[in-house]
Amino acid sequence: MKVLVVGAAGQLGQAMAARLVGEHQVVAATRADVDLTGYAAVLEFVQRVAPNAIVNCASYNDVDGSEQHQQQAFAVNAFAPRTLARAAEVVDATLIHYGTDFVYAGTASQPYSEDDLPEPQSVYAQSKLVGEWMVADWRKHYVLRVESLFGGRRAKSSVDRIVAAVRAGTEAPVFFDRVTSPSFIDDVVAATAHLLRTEAPFGLYHCVNTGHATWLDLGKEIARVLGCSEASLKPVSVDAVKFAAPRPRYAALSNQKLAAAGFTMPTWQDAIRRHLGGHTR
């Protein structure tokens, strides 16, 4: 299969392009190759490449900055996916796109499923939700909602920030009242490869590691696996931090639908172990 990966310079995009090469003919495109906010340029580019699948790893990810830069957020997170959906339809390609847990309000008491109603609380979250809808305009689509991505080459995630602080013995503020189901990039790539390979039913899937934890518990697990002291971890409340864009407090997602489609995401503890061991699936 010929697979076009756009957003290939990002943390997920880099890993995606590198790992799909073993299985597919991969064309990795960065912003320098095609700016996804240009409608005609994207259509021309996609027609020239003529892929069987497009994997969209591009995004405007400045969550707080989006409150000020709504136009930029919507251009990349909502209208670029619309253009990609149209281009995918023109060449009859499957389109894979990534969403976020931020589409939920974070007030639930059990993990959100794909059937739960989104209630985005920020401009970033709204732009990402509209992007999901745009992608769903093309029948042959997968939207994978991911969360707190970690394991990228640039090590810029919250998990990596905690790992670095615990290793160095410096202070790592961690929320004791914010719950996450993080997504290990290796597992997101493997899930994507599975969907491409098996042609599972199209639609929306939560693509997070199995289980959930507070950021404090995640930090404790990191310290345990590293064999380091937990003393670095400084528990803080979400209420103590003023973000321009509100974050969902309870962001546990259920990945049961993905499991029913044949791909069981490993537990987050297993993902942390593999990440810290430097192993990949």
Ligand X SMILES: NC(=O)c1ccc[n+]([C@@H]2O[C@H](COP(=O)([O-])OP(=O)(O)OC[C@H]3O[C@@H](n4cnc5c(N)ncnc54)[C@H](OP(=O)(O)O)[C@@H]3O)[C@@H](O)[C@H]2O)c1
Nearest to 223 by CA among 150, 158, 156, 272: 272
Identity of the residue, 128 or 178, whose beta carbon is nearer to ligand X in the bound complex: 128
Binding mask 127-156 for ligand X (x = CB under 6 A): -x-----------------xxxx-------
CB of 259 to ligand X, least distance (A): 20
By CB under 6 A, the residues from 19 to 38 that bind ligand X are 31, 35-37
Give yes or no for a contact between 195 and 24, defined as CB atoms under 8 angstroms apart. Answer: no
Give yes or no for a contact between 205 and 263, defined as CB atoms under 8 angstroms apart. Answer: no
Q: Does 16 bind ligand X (CB under 6 A)?
A: no
CB of 248 to ligand X, least distance (A): 11
By CB under 6 A, the residues from 169 to 208 that bind ligand X are none
Q: Does 121 bind ligand X (CB under 6 A)?
A: no
Q: Does 9 bind ligand X (CB under 6 A)?
A: yes
* Backbone phi, psi, residue 45, to 5°: -60, -50
The stretch among 18-26, 52-60, 170-178, 194-202 that binds ligand X (CB under 6 A) is 52-60
Q: Does 122 bind ligand X (CB under 6 A)?
A: no
- The two beta strands, 179-180 and 213-214, are antiparallel
CA distance 72 to 92: 28
CB of 256 to ligand X, least distance (A): 19
* Backbone phi, psi, residue 78, to 5°: -120, -50
Which residue type is seen at 104?
Answer: Y
Nearest to 45 by CA among 10, 79, 9, 93: 93
- What is the end-to-end Cα distance of the chain in Å, rounded? 21
CB of 57 to ligand X, least distance (A): 5
Binding region for ligand X (CB under 6 A): 7, 9-13, 31, 35-37, 57-61, 76, 98, 100, 128, 146-149
